[in-house]
Structures are given as C-alpha cells and as structure tokens.
Amino acid sequence: MNQEFDLETALRRALKREQPSRDFAGRVLARTVVRRRQAATRTWMAIAAMLLVGLVIAGGVRRYEVEREAQAQAQAQKAGQDLVLALRITVAKLHATHRMIRRRSNGV
C-alpha cells in the first residue's frame, strides 16, 4: 500500500505540468526554419545532381551519335570508292574481252 502511494506520488511529480522556458517557442521556431532550409537545400542539391547526370548522359549520347554518324559516313565513302574501283576493274576486263573477241574475229 505504501509502495503504491509512493509510485503515485512519483508519477504525479514526474507528470507535473511545467511552464516552458521563455525562449522555448523561439528555439523551436528557429530549429524548424533550419530544418526547412536544410530540406530545401537537399532538394535543390538532388535536382542539381539529377540535372548534372542528365546533362552527362545527354552529352554522352550525342557524342556517341556524332561518332556513329562519322563512322557511317566514312564507311559509306569507303564503300563508294570500293564500288567505283570494282566497276572500273569489271568494265576494263569487259573492254579487254571485247578487244580480244574483235581481234580474233578480224583474224589478227
């Protein structure tokens, strides 16, 4: 019984209403402002990081496209030169064949 009484007294003492210190509201407000600023900074940093990553990716993709286009251009130019060379050889051989046939038919 005595023990229960002691517990009740202790609880009442512990849960007794106390007036906050005078600068409590100010301190809470100040901390809230700081937290808001920190959150805003973090958001902006995240946005900046995302933009930077986006820029890096876009730059990489553009560079890849430019390189691929240049490669395709060079490949097409080489193919064009090869094609002309192949045609020149073919035409030369056909002309030589015609000359040989003509020579034979003329009995030269």
Residues that bind another protein (CB under 8 A): 72-73, 75-77, 79-98, 100-101, 104
Residue reference for tokens 């056909």: 94
Nearest residue (CB) to another protein, 58 versus 72 = 72
Sign, Cα dihedral of 100, 105, 107, 108? negative
Which residue, 49 or 101, has its beta carbon nearer to another protein? 101
- Angle at 52 (CA atoms; ends 47, 55), nearest 5 degrees: 125
Shortest Cβ 55–another protein spacing (Å): 29
Residue 57 vs 89, nearer CB to another protein: 89
Rounded-to-integer distance, Cα 38 and Cα 21, Å: 26
Q: Measured in whole angstroms, how far is the alpha carbon of residue 27 from the centre of its chain?
A: 42
- Min dist CB 105 to another protein, Å, is 11
CB of 96 to another protein, least distance (A): 7
